Amino acid sequence: MIKILAIGGSNSVNSINRKHAYFVASLFSDATVEKYNLSTKEIPLFSVQLESEIPFPEEIVAFAKMIDESDLIVLSLAENNGSFNAGFKNLIDWTSRIPKRKIFGEKPMLLISTSPGPRGASSVLEHAKATFPFRGAVVKGSFSLPSFDQNFDTETGITNPELLEKITAIVHTIQAEM
């Protein structure tokens, strides 16, 4: 049995990326899924000055431990103005300050994204695919879900048969490698 850490890369209470990550993680068979909800975390805004003034946030240590205890990360990225959501960026900025650590701990990752628009947050997805390997992610696959409101139902998940088939094939390929 594999242990999956599912993360929605947004601090929005109603994050569509959290829904997307949790659904895609549920497609893996013989797996347990630990869900990380960034909107419920109180993490101070990172700065070098603040880092020298306060104790290291316990939430960041707990997040790094969740990564370390997982076999696979399913991360769905939100795109804000062509880049990462500020809450998610803050999370990885703090995590990068843990001594002798690459953020994602050399863990396999399925990197996904979605947005209400037709590009499905593809700009931030491409940026992450290019940079996350330098931050300790072993990117095993990627997928962008366009037009979230037209292609996703909260009860049933991805409703577009072609897109569901595509992500299911990616999941099966990754699972076969694990």
What is the count of structural domains for the chain?
1
Q: For residue range 116-140, what is the model confidence (pLDDT) as tens digits?
A: 999 999 999 999 999 999 999 999 9
Q: Which residues contact 82 (CB under 8 A, 6 or more apart)?
A: 123, 124
Domain CATH code at residue 22: 3.40.50.360
Within the chain, where are the H helices? 16-26, 48-53, 58-68, 86-95, 122-131, 148-151, 161-177
pLDDT at 95: 97
pTM exceeds cut of 0.85: yes
Domain limits for position 164: 2-177
In tens, the pLDDT along 140-160 reads 999 999 999 999 999 999 999
Given phi > 0 = left and psi -120 to 50 = alpha, else beta, which region is 82?
left
Name the average pLDDT for the chain. Answer: 96
* Crossing angle (nearest 10°) for helices 86-95 and 58-68: 80
Over residues 85-94, mean pLDDT: 97
Give 37-47 pLDDT, tens digit per residue: 999 999 999 99
